[in-house]
């Protein structure tokens, strides 16, 4: 990291931050849509679609974008994506139909996908091994802390007017000069070791585990607010504070990853994350006072920080420079597919289970899975030693 300009590092951190704000900046605006679009049937469904539609677009189109970005160039792709990130992101300031708002969010998803693919692949271009893991910890921490500010800022602006949070997306235009001046596309010759990397089945496993991580982790923002407000009668301010503690500890978990990677491999770190997630969900299932959420949310946030950083580093370690952009595209697709499907996959369980029991069963199931995985890996290691 010593040979890289601090302004280049800052630019890369800011680019990563834009991907974290794709949904959270407008989350507090959604309830106000019901008040504004009083004549629209199913407006509650459409308001939720404002959040999930970009994720669906990203999941479907990220692999295609990865191929396009590789041909078109990373820097040029980022400049175009940032401009339209602001153009489509701020459309809520002036659009007056729910159809046009949804269309703008879908096109906005294309921009977010481009920014995420490039920011992920650039980490692989600029950093090697331990420096890469260290930077990714800082990057994830920057994204998590940025998420806290965007949630709070969006909440403050939505209290003034439901349209104002969309103005936050003007940050894309602010970043354009940083990218023009400080972001350089590195020409890297792949080493013989990189060229020999097999990214077939091994990479599919990484994509699958990244998908499973997000499927589970997205239970936190999609289900816990309902538990807090409906069962524990929390105020919006209290619910937001609880979620913010998870964001903050997500940053700490991301930073802790580089320390863990010195002693453990990717699979072991993934299992640590799953076990911590199991602990967090299980505790949510048995607590009887709202203030105990300030114990469970940090555990879940910390686990998510470790797992997300681990999954990204794992993916980058298994691909060469030539295939890094395309691999990042498929990885981005897996992450956002998990995000989009999480509420859909777990909704049937919530039809049969009381919401707190749902968290307990999820936690216990994850404990069982992590135990079986640990036993299997120990058995596999012993066979290899013989």
Say what the pLDDT of residue 300 is: 95
> How far, in whole angstroms, is CA 53 from its chain's centroid?
15
Residue-wise pLDDT for 142-179, tens only, equals 887 777 778 777 777 887 888 998 999 999 999 999 99
Cβ-in-10-Å burial (0-12, 13-18, 19+) of 3 comes to: exposed
Quote the CA–CA distance of 109 and 55 in Å, as a whole number. Answer: 7
Quote the CA–CA distance of 115 and 179 in Å, as a whole number. Answer: 12
Quote the CA–CA distance of 139 and 155 in Å, as a whole number. Answer: 24
Q: Is the pLDDT of residue 192 over 60?
A: no
Query: With bands split at pLDDT 50, 70 and 90, how would you rate the model's confidence at 46?
Result: confident
Q: Mean per-residue pLDDT for 241-259?
A: 86
Q: Out of 18-22, 81-85, 254-258, which region has the weakest mean confidence (pLDDT)?
A: 18-22
- Most confident listed range (167-171, 234-238, 346-350): 167-171
Quote the CA–CA distance of 65 and 129 in Å, as a whole number. Answer: 26
pTM, to two decimals: 0.82
Residue-wise pLDDT for 294-344, tens only, equals 999 999 999 999 999 999 999 988 887 667 788 888 998 999 899 888 888
Say what the pLDDT of residue 321 is: 66
Q: Mean per-residue pLDDT for 58-73?
A: 87
Quote the CA–CA distance of 248 and 143 in Å, as a whole number. Answer: 10
Domain ranges in the chain are: 1-182, 199-318+352-385
Mean pLDDT over each residue of the chain, to the nearest integer: 85
- Could you tell me which residues come within 8 angstroms of residue 381 by beta carbon, excluding any fewer than 6 positions away? none
Nearest to 252 by CA among 118, 137, 337: 137
| CATH superfamily name and code, 1-182 | MFS general substrate transporter like domains (1.20.1250.20)
The alpha carbon dihedral of 211, 216, 217, 220 has a sign of positive
Q: Is the pLDDT of residue 190 over 70?
A: no
10 Å Cβ neighbour count for 208? 12
């Amino acid at each position: 990291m010593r040979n890289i300009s601090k302004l280049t590092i800052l630019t890369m951190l800011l680019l990563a931050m834009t991907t974290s704000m794709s949904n959270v900046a407008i989350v507090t605006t959604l309830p106000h849509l019901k008040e504004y679009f009083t004549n629209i049937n199913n407006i509650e469904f459409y308001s939720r679609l404002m959040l999930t539609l970009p994720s669906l677009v990203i999941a479907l189109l990220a692999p295609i974008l990865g191929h396009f970005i590789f041909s078109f160039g990373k820097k040029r792709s980022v400049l175009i994506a940032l401009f339209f990130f602001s153009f489509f992101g701020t459309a809520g300031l002036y659009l007056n139909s729910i159809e046009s708002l949804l269309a703008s969010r879908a096109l906005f998803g294309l921009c977010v996908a481009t920014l995420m693919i490039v920011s992920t692949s650039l980490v692989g271009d600029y950093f090697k091994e331990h420096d890469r893991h260290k930077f990714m910890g800082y990057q994830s921490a920057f994204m998590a802390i940025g998420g806290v500010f965007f949630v709070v800022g969006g909440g403050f602006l939505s209290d003034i007017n439901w349209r104002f949070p969309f103005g936050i997306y003007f940050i894309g235009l602010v970043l354009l000069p940083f990218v023009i001046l400080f972001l350089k596309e590195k020409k890297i010759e792949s080493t013989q070791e990189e060229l020999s990397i097999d990214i077939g089945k091994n990479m599919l496993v990484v994509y699958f585990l990244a998908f499973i991580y997000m499927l589970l982790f997205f239970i936190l923002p999609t289900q816990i607010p309902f538990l807090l407000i409906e069962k524990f009668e929390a105020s919006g301010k209290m619910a937001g504070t609880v979620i913010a503690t998870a964001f903050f500890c997500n940053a700490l978990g991301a930073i802790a990853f580089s320390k863990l990677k010195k002693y453990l491999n990717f699979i072991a770190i993934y299992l640590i994350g799953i076990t911590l997630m199991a602990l967090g969900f299980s505790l949510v299932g048995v607590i009887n006072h709202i203030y105990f959420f300030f114990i469970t949310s940090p555990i879940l946030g910390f686990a998510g920080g470790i797992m997300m950083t681990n999954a990204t580093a794992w993916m980058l370690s298994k691909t060469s420079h030539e295939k890094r952009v395309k691999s990042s595209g498929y990885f981005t697709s897996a992450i956002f597919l998990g995000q989009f499907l999480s509420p859909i996959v777990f909704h049937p369980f919530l039809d049969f289970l009381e919401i707190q029991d749902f968290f307990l069963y999820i936690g216990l199931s994850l404990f069982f899975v992590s135990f079986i995985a640990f036993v299997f890996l120990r058995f596999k290691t012993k066979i290899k030693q013989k």
